[in-house]
């Protein structure tokens, strides 16, 4: 998998963090630069650790599923993408506490990075190195979370759901690309 595909995956994975960051930016009254950096770092850290954990998990099962690995990667990406699209279309808006504490931030960080765990399993199944994706995913998530917090201070709530839908579509597209490459090349 090339760098461009990894960047697309990283952008797609960061959409949940971006949407939550926008929401946080809208609801936290005193959002200092220090707080923005802490929240963005927390999202990036968990988003980078989860694929690493998933990769180590996937290595243990890789030899048993080598013949169907492309189908598994496709199904996982399809499921994650469909979930993101569904959540993006959902009419339920999440409410955040205006005084977001550290435990809430860590909880949000974990919740927005669960999809990255599954991506890590996919990387192991596809026998991909994990170092480059972890760095790219963490970096892009930090940038998107930082931007989301800043945007949330100035813009309305509609953008958050739209971004999640876009991220879901990109993940499904990458899943289709993996399936197509393994079936026809």
Query: Tokens representing 158?
Result: 């509609």
* Of 81, 83, 82, nearest in space to 9 by CA: 81
Kindly tell me if the per-residue pLDDT of 140 is higher than 90.
yes
Q: Is the pTM of this model over 0.75?
A: no
* Of 10, 3, 4, 1, nearest in space to 144 by CA: 10
Residue 173's domain spans which residues? 3-184
Dist CA 59 CA 95 (whole Å): 38
Domain count, the chain: 1
Q: If pLDDT is split at 50, 70 and 90, which confidence band does 159 have?
A: low
Q: If pLDDT is split at 50, 70 and 90, which confidence band does 98 have?
A: very low
């Amino acid at each position: 998998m090339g760098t461009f595909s990894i960047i697309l995956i990283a952008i797609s994975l960061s959409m949940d963090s971006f949407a939550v960051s926008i929401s946080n930016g809208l609801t936290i009254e005193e959002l200092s630069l220090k707080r923005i950096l802490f929240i963005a770092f927390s999202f990036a850290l968990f988003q980078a650790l989860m694929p690493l954990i998933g990769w180590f998990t996937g290595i243990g099962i890789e030899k048993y599923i080598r013949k169907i690995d492309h189908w598994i990667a496709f199904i996982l990406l399809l499921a994650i993408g469909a979930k993101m699209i569904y959540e993006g279309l959902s009419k339920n808006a999440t409410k955040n506490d205006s005084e977001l504490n550290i435990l809430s931030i860590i909880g949000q960080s974990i919740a927005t990075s669960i999809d990255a765990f599954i991506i890590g399993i996919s990387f192991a199944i596809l026998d991909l190195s994990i170092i480059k994706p972890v760095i790219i995913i963490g970096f892009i998530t930090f940038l998107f979370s930082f931007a989301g917090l800043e945007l949330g201070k100035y813009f309305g709530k509609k953008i958050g759901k739209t971004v999640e839908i876009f991220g879901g579509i990109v993940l499904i597209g990458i899943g289709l690309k993996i399936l197509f490459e393994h079936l026809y090349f």
